[in-house]
Amino acid sequence: AWKGAPQFSNDEGWSFKPRGRLQVDVAGIDAPNDLSGGVNDRLGTGVELRRAYIGFDGTIPGGFGYRVEADIAGSDVSLTDLYLTYKANRNVTLAVGHQKPFWGLEEMTSDLFTSTMERAAFSQAFGFERRVGASVQYSGKSLLVQGGVFADDASSLNTDTNKSWSVDGRVVFMPKLGGGILHLGASAHLRDLGGSVTSTRYRARPFLHTTDARLVDTGTIGATGERSFGLEAAYIAGPFHATLEGHSMTARRPGLADPTFRGGYAEVGYVLTGDDTGYKNGVYDRLKPSKGLDDGGIGAIQVNLRYDHLDLNDAGIVGGRQQMAGVAMVWAPVDNVRFVANYGHLWLRDAAVTAGGDDSYGVDAMGMRAQFDF
Per CB under 8 A, 177 contacts a second copy? no
**Segment near a second copy (CB under 8 A), from 153-161, 177-185, 243-251, 279-287?**
153-161
Judged by CB under 8 A, the residue of 8, 199, 220, 222 near a second copy is: 8
Does 83 help bind a second copy (rule: CB under 8 A)? yes
Nearer to a second copy, 86 or 343 (CB): 86
| Residue ranges in 100-139 that form contacts with a second copy under rule CB under 8 A | 132-133
How distant, in Å, are the alpha carbons of 37, 229, 308, 358 from that of 249? 27, 7, 16, 27
Q: Site for a second copy (CB under 8 A): which residue of 123, 137, 187, 211?
A: 211
Using DSSP bridges, classify how beta strands 180-192 and 15-30 pair: parallel, antiparallel or unpaired: unpaired
Q: How far is CA 232 from CA 96, 104, 176, 206, 265, in A?
A: 26, 7, 16, 23, 10
Beta carbon nearer to a second copy, 105 or 365: 365
The nearest distance, CB 293 to a second copy, in angstroms, is 4
DSSP code string of 72-100:
-TTSS-EEEEEEEEEE-SSSEEEEEEEE-
Could you give phi then psi for residue 86, rounded to 5 degrees?
Answer: -140, 120
Q: How far is the CB of 116 from a second copy (least distance, A)?
A: 20
**Distance between CA atoms of residues 188 and 126, nearest Å:** 13
Please report, for residues 42, 57, 101, the alpha-carbon distance to residue 79 in angstroms, rounded to integers and kept in the order given. 26, 14, 15
- Residue placing its CB nearer to a second copy in the complex, 252 or 291: 291
Residues 324-343 close enough to bind a second copy by CB under 8 A: 333-337
Give dist(CA 81, CA 150) in Å, integer.
Answer: 14
Determine, following the binding rule CB under 8 A, whether residue 298 of this chain makes contact with a second copy. Answer: no
Burial (Cβ within 10 Å: 0-12, 13-18, ≥19) of residue 218 = buried
Cβ proximity to a second copy, 58 vs 239, nearer residue: 58
CB of 63 or CB of 180, closer to a second copy = 63
Q: Minimum distance from CB of 295 to a second copy (Å)? A: 8
CA distance 265 to 279: 18
Chain positions 58 to 77 lying near a second copy, rule: CB under 8 A, are: 58, 60-64, 66, 68, 70, 72-77
Residue 98 near a second copy by CB under 8 A? yes
Q: Among residues 32, 91, 96, 242, which is the contact residue for a second copy, using CB under 8 A?
A: 96
Residues 24 to 53: which contact a second copy by CB under 8 A? 24, 41-42, 44-49, 52-53
